[in-house]
Chain A
Amino acid sequence: GQQVMQIPQYQHVQEGEDFTTYCNSSTTLSNIQWYKQRPGGHPVFLIQLVKSGEVKKQKRLTFQFGEAKKNSSLHITATQTTDVGTYFCAGTGFQKLVFGTGTRLLVSP
């Protein structure tokens, strides 16, 4: 079945450092979504990418969809303690939204 892997599994940074998580699908995706889950919380939608090679920005967050529509990345510039949480990509294919394995981000002040 469709699998979506993310690396790294976990990252601990100092506040102000940059952070990137990578998402790779075993199959071509129709689109990709990104979600953030705070500790003890529920996933919250951040953004959706649809087009091959698409890049979108939300303040300090930059999202990219690969040319082959099989991979994606999320980059956070100058992390803040409020960025703490787990970031999930979720790919759509075969009429399902399949979540990636997630990257847990810890930010120390």
Chain B
Amino acid sequence: DAGVIQSPRHEVTEMGQEVTLRCKPISGHDYLFWYRQTMMRGLELLIYFNNNVPIDDSGMPEDRFSAKMPNASFSTLKIQPSEPRDSAVYFCASSPTGVSTEAFFGQGTRLTVV
């Protein structure tokens, strides 16, 4: 398996634009997580899915952020409109059986909002 695949690897966008980050989890993994990493706040859990259903979205910063998982092999994290404070590295991770098992991280998307 190729592991968790995220795209794009880097994204530079202007404030106010819509940004969509994409993730393909490892096949057979039932859980998918979206994390955001910044120097100030570290690694924060934004939302996670179990069998394509959002279970906990309490980490989503505000209504500008939304995440979907239309099928077992694809998820998106959308920011609309984007703001400079959204600049961060966004990681997608998947795990086979839940939050108490090993999480496999993708390479991340480095987002810069100017």
Contacts and interface: CB of A to CB of B under 8 A. Distances in A.
Interface of A: 30-31, 33, 41-45, 48, 88, 90, 92, 95-102
A100 B41 CA distance: 10
Give the interface SS of chain A, mostly helix, strand, loop or mixed. Answer: strand
Contacts of B105: 42-44
A88 B107 contact: no
A92 B99 CA distance: 7
Contacts of A98: 45
Contacts of B103: 33, 43, 45, 90, 97
B61 interface: no
B49 interface: no
B104 A45 contact: yes
Given A30-B100, A33-B102, A43-B105, A102 B56 contact: no
Contacts, number: 47
Contacts of A95: 55-56, 99
Interface in B90-107: 91, 93, 99-107
Give the interface SS of chain B, mostly helix, strand, loop or mixed. Answer: strand
Interface string B48-87: 0000000110000000000000000000000000000000
Contacts of B100: 30-31, 48, 92, 97
A35 to B, nearest CB: 8
Contacts of A41: 107
Contact of B91 (A30, A42, A48, A90): A42
Contacts of B33: 97
